[in-house]
Structure 1
Amino acid sequence: MNNNSISFLPSIEKKEFYTLFKAFMFFFFVLASWYALRPVRNELAVQGGIFNLPWLLMGVMAAMLIINPIYSWLVSRINQNKIILYIYSFFIINLALFLLLWSSTDGQGRVWTGRAFYIWANVYSFFVVSVFWVTMINFFSHTDSKKFFGIISAGGSLGAFFGSSVARYFSTEICGNSSISDLGPMSLIIFSIFSLFFAIYFSRSFRDERNSNTEQEVGGSSLVAIKNIIKEPAIRNLGLYVTLFTMLMTTSWMISLGIVEDWSDDPCERTAFFATIEQIVTPLTLLMQLFLASYILRRIGSKTILVIYGLLFACAFIGYALSPTITTVMMVVISLRIFEYGLNKPTRESIYTQLKKQDRYKSTVLIDTFIARSGDVIGGWFVRGLVGTGIAVLSVTWAALPFAMLISYMGFQVNKSINNE
């Protein structure tokens, strides 16, 4: 295709608009549910101490390892159109249980509830989003994914903005001066539950648009995703790419948490800062998704986008090393998040549409949950290990630079292996 003939905005036929709208609203409520809880999770990470984070991340990875075969077993045996209903209903029950625990305990009980919530929240955030994208990559073709995934992602960004706005309201109006009040977290959990109910509603409407040949079980072994991540070059390279960028995301995050901790000792101020970042990231990401993602993906292709990520990480770490300030934290976090959610995530999901059916349902979820969390654990211990040898936290930024370059190399390898499928 001649790149000069590519229109800036994708053409959307009348019959495609309604389906696109439902997918847009589906993702809106999925991310609204998560982003209302995200600042609370971030504050719990600060309260727990940044050097305890690797242990919590290991708990998250262990949970992912246990849950993935269960998910694969379930997907192998149920109708494809029931997957969202079952998975999201399970998480709604979880939210209700945390609400009950939070309201019925205090003191040490809340400390352990907070730790359990941190682990659970990371599992939740990855699974609800991964299962959403499983629905999308099995509905849209590769060509349509390049046109629509940016726009669908914009629905998620609006939902994220809505959810983070709710979180910011409670952190500034109800939170108080020393800690998060009882009402704040309880209200946010209730909000998340209702958001998931709406997500289920739109997923059912979305299901009705599918062809009858999707009304079947996926089949296969509960361990097929693990086997394919080892044997299949395309799946393996995608897994390595995700491991590397999540490793560096966590490395960057731990560095930023240290800077934030030095900046303020007020939990509510820090929670408000995290929520402010969400509110800045979301509209900028939205602009990227609505007006640029489709055009960039169709014009320069997935390979260039995957390769650029490593260069962006390199710039981020150099920024932390040269200017470790709260302003740098905001700039780095905003830049990485906009690129990830505005461009890199839609690109990876577009690549997923080219995989085999079982890989679309199982391997992609394994990559986006356990493999991604493994990268987090590696990043956490990377920082903790270097600091344990006497290296200053900010000096870790220089040690991370070679891994940033490795991301760019793996981006090239992902594209090569997919084209050889």
Structure 2
Amino acid sequence: MTQAPPTAGRFDHLRGALREFPPLLWSFLYFFFLLTGYYVLRPVRDAMGASGDVQAVFPAGLVDWAAARGVALGDLTLQVLFTGTFLVMLLLQPAYGALVSRFPRRVFLPVLYLLFIACLLGFYILFGREVPGRGAVFFIWVAVFNLFAVSVFWSFMADIYSDTEARRLYGFIAAGGTIGGFTGPLITRVLVNQVGVANLLLVSAALLALAVVCILRLGRWARLRELERGREGNEQAMGGSMLAGLRLLRDQPLLRAMAVIMFFGVGVGTLLYNEQAAIARAFYPGDEARTAYYANIDLAINLVTILVQVFLTRTLLVRFGVAPVLLIPAVAILLGFAALTASPLPLLVAVVQVATRAGEFSLAKPARETIYTRVDREIRYKGKAVIDTAVYRGGDLFFVWTHKFLAAFGSSVVFGAGLLVAGAMTFGAWRLIREQAKLPASPP
């Protein structure tokens, strides 16, 4: 008797899940279109951040101000851009809070994405006319767009799926974003020399328009599921203060634990990414060799991520819950930074980078998002947004300047500090596991 290959059962489960949960396909497509649109923009953003033309990146007034004071603005491009991104995130928190407080979900979700599309059309004009300072504005906007759009996506998923369903399905949904991570850069690589940078913004806008179509289709399922759960009021505006997210972060132990993981998790990634750049420059002085090194890392990250999302995430979440799925990546990062402290070689850096980012995308992120299915909508949309945007970019800002200081003492010192940061992140994961165990099985 012929035995079916081990992967057959997994794909049979996927087909069964698609039949059992029709919104799963729309959720997958929503995340796919969203992240494909983002990854079309990301190479454009990174090119702006790495540009040596400060006139294209920064407004003329800032360039003149820095020159008058003897500040080499080109040497601080990323630090200035990260600082600007954090400040913009803080300023936008009240605007986002007002939007979700005053309008029901069926209004504010499409409106948010239509605003993003309108911004892309504006950037299309700026890039076509080569307006000075466009680089900084675009860099900051893409960072804001990515965090807000993805945060709202997962908040919406928590409206549609219960905790049990999320454990079964979030791995598959996250795979849609991973495939978008493959597709977006491929589109940019194929089209950039043919249509130019400005027209790529229109491609991204079209992909976001398709995401809006998915939102409209999923809205019906969200309303049906909430009626089944006896939560008919969720199509009304949730009300409350526009600064409620900050208040919730102050008052809710669960959100504070989430914030600790986010802040120090960003720290781990920022220290590793910036020191990796220094090590790559030292070991691979040629542009071609360095580009190949980075390309191989990105390929390995995406490959490992999608394999874990499809074949392992669901099994771990369904059988064991969020505890091991949060702790496995944290322990792997601790071990990786301990090894890098002793031997900061390019190959080992690449291995730790793959483990860090693949573990975050395939395990830790889906595990954290399932927890939001068990809290109320204000925490889900307002508190979560503060963590995913302001706390995230605050970590970026703090650790990009921290690395600037630590780098003077060598790679081993940077990775030794990273080991302490990874320990703090692991402590946050442990606290989150304890706090989520106190939550009810469904939202109050």
Shared fold by TM > 0.5?
A: yes
Structure 1 residues 199-223: Cα deviation after superposition (integer angstroms, max 9, x where no partner): 0011111112122623211111111
* Mapped partners of 1:375, 1:78: distance in 2: 30
**Alpha-carbon deviations, 1:220-239, whole Å to 9, x = none?**
11111101111111111111
- How far apart in 1 are the matches of 2:412 and 2:171? 35
Instruction: Write the letter of the residue equivalent to 1:17.
Output: F
Tell me by how many angstroms 1:384 deviates: 1.7
* 2:416 paired with 1:398: yes
- SS of residue paired to 2:160: coil
**Residue matched to 2:129:** 104
1:148 correspondence with 2:169: yes
Q: Which residue of 1 aligns with 2:66?
A: none
Deviation of 1:133 (Å): 0.8
Q: 1:196 aligns with which of 199, 204, 208?
A: 208
Counterpart amino acid of residue 130 in structure 2: T
Q: 1:240 aligns with which of 249, 255, 260?
A: 260
The residue type equivalent to 1:305 in the other structure is V
Q: Aligned-pair RMSD on alpha carbons? A: 2.5
Structure with greater contact order relative to length (CA < 8 Å, sep ≥ 6): 1
Unpaired runs of at least 5, structure 1: 1-6, 175-181
- 2:19 matched to 1:19? no
Corresponding position: 1:207 with 2:211: no
Q: 1:116 maps to what in 2?
A: 137
Q: Does 2:189 align with 1:130?
A: no
**Whole-Å separation in 1 of the counterparts to 2:297 and 2:46:** 12
TM-score (norm. length: structure 1): 0.87
SS of 1:208's equivalent in the other structure is helix
Partner of 1:73: 98
Choose from 376, 382, 391 the match for 1:371: 391
| 1:102 partner letter | F
Q: How does 1:17-416 map to 2 (within 5 A)?
A: 17-47=21-51, 51-105=76-130, 109=132, 112-170=133-191, 174=193, 183-211=195-223, 213=232, 214-262=234-282, 263-264=284-285, 266=287, 274=294, 277-322=297-342, 324=344, 326-387=346-407, 390-416=408-434
Note the C-alpha offset of 1:392: 2.4
Find the structure with the greater CA-based Rg: 2
User: TM-score, structure 2 length as denominator?
Assistant: 0.83
TM-superposed deviation, 1:271: 6.5
Structure 2 distance, partners of 1:271, 1:411, is: 34
Q: Is the 8 A contact 1:64 1:370 kept in 2?
A: yes
SS class of match (1:210): helix
Deviation at 1:162, TM superposition (A): 0.9
Amino acid at match of 1:207: G
Deviates more, 1:50-59 or 1:148-157: 50-59
Moved more, 206-215 or 270-279: 270-279
Check the 8 A contact 2:159/2:222 in 1, yes or no. Answer: no
Q: CA deviation at 1:191?
A: 1.6
Once the two structures are TM-superposed, the CA of residue 27 in structure 1 deviates from its matched residue by 0.6
Alignment identity in percent?
A: 29
Query: More displaced, 350-359 or 184-193?
Result: 184-193
**Partners in 1 of 2:136 and 2:289 — Cα distance?**
21
Shift of 1:314: 2.6
Q: Which secondary structure does the structure 2 equivalent of 1:138 belong to?
A: helix
